[in-house]
Amino acid sequence: MGNHSDGSPNHSGTVAKGGQNDVEKFQDPGIPPHRLRLADTDPKAAKKAERQVALLFGISVVGTVIFLVAYFAIDLGKDSAIATIRLQNALLGIGTAFAMLGIGTGIVHWAKALMPDHEVSEERHAIRTEEDRQAAVRIVDDIVEETGIKRRPLIRNTLLGAVALAPLPALAIFGDLGPRPDNTLAHTMWAPQDGKLKRLTRDPDGTPIKAADVTIGSAFHVIPDGLNELSEGKLNEKAKSVVLLMRLNPEELHPSPGREDWAYNGIVAYSKICTHVGCPVALYEQQTHHLLCPCHQSTFDLTQQCKVIFGPASRPLPQLPIAVDSEGYLVATSDFHEPVGPSYWEREQHVLIPNS
């Protein structure tokens, strides 16, 4: 271990300043004198500090317990009032804060009030030999000894309790992540059901749209037929399947091979979910045929299959293939051929027709 300071100036050194010959000597002030703390001289003060540290670790334990009670005892059923959700969130936050702050402040107080605080200096040198390794092990042993953790069972036990309980909130949270989404991100309500094609309907009232209703320059916010009747998972389904429907002059569309029949008479449907981070692409500039995402200004060109022409999005908006049924209503002939919205790890596995 290094040398402990006696507090007196004990070294001298030199520093080069300016030119080679301009060397100025100075007196090394050394390490400042060591000041004893109250707990170093008064056993009662040391005992009091020990109890304070234990109290802080105890607060951490209480914080963890508050978190766990709030997490498991407050039932958030489907019909939970917003006040119940807020209460649980508040208790989870308070519990986590106490759990982390208790351990942190306890360790800081322990180090400042009870652990030896004498100043130590040691020359740097490479650690290579077995002797050095042994010396390092001895230093670690010294540190453990100096913490006093062996002599102070109150601190040791409360610290062990606080550290053992502190990860439990994380376990509870990870356990609540739920089942893997698997390929639910790759499918939407637009897939035909029992051979029946889904009609395009207006958002939010769900009335079907006839091709004749869509005039050149108009834009419709669209949801799949039947979405409003869902009793469960309606918002999740809507988040994936919302679509923008527009009509252009058919000559202005330039479909790539394989997509020639995805539009009907200049009417095209594209996912409304931005491929950047998923905001709704809600602005249509009918003069330029551009769709604009208001979040970070990604701009998609309808005449080029919604290719990105500006902004941070990296992929075109997925196109929904459409046609018209026997009554003249617009229908989706299939689901999207790629997952909508932002990228995720397994996305490429679910792409049926890559964008060209």
**Binding stretches for ligand FES (CB under 6 A):** 274, 276-279, 293, 295-296, 298, 311-313
User: What type of residue sits at position 286?
Assistant: Q
Binning the chain into helix, strand and coil, the percentages to the nearest 5 are 35, 20, 45
The distance of closest approach from Cβ of residue 277 to ligand FES in the complex, given in angstroms and rounded to an integer, is 4
Locus of tokens 């449907």 = 269
The distance of closest approach from Cβ of residue 294 to ligand FES in the complex, given in angstroms and rounded to an integer, is 8
d(CA 354, CA 75): 45
Locus of tokens 């050194």 = 13
Terminal-to-terminal C-alpha distance of the chain: 68
Q: Which two tokens stand for residue 120?
A: 């130590």
Nearer to ligand FES, 110 or 284 (CB): 284
The distance of closest approach from Cβ of residue 292 to ligand FES in the complex, given in angstroms and rounded to an integer, is 9
Give the C-alpha distances (Å, rounded to integers) separating 237 from 174, 243, 342: 24, 12, 16
The distance of closest approach from Cβ of residue 268 to ligand FES in the complex, given in angstroms and rounded to an integer, is 19
The distance of closest approach from Cβ of residue 342 to ligand FES in the complex, given in angstroms and rounded to an integer, is 8
Give the C-alpha distances (Å, rounded to integers) separating 158 from 59, 61, 82, 131: 10, 8, 37, 36
Give the C-alpha distances (Å, rounded to integers) separating 75 from 26, 169, 247, 249: 70, 16, 49, 55
The distance of closest approach from Cβ of residue 315 to ligand FES in the complex, given in angstroms and rounded to an integer, is 11
Nearer to ligand FES, 59 or 274 (CB): 274
Nearer to ligand FES, 313 or 331 (CB): 313
Nearer to ligand FES, 63 or 339 (CB): 339
Q: Which two tokens stand for residue 308?
A: 């990105």
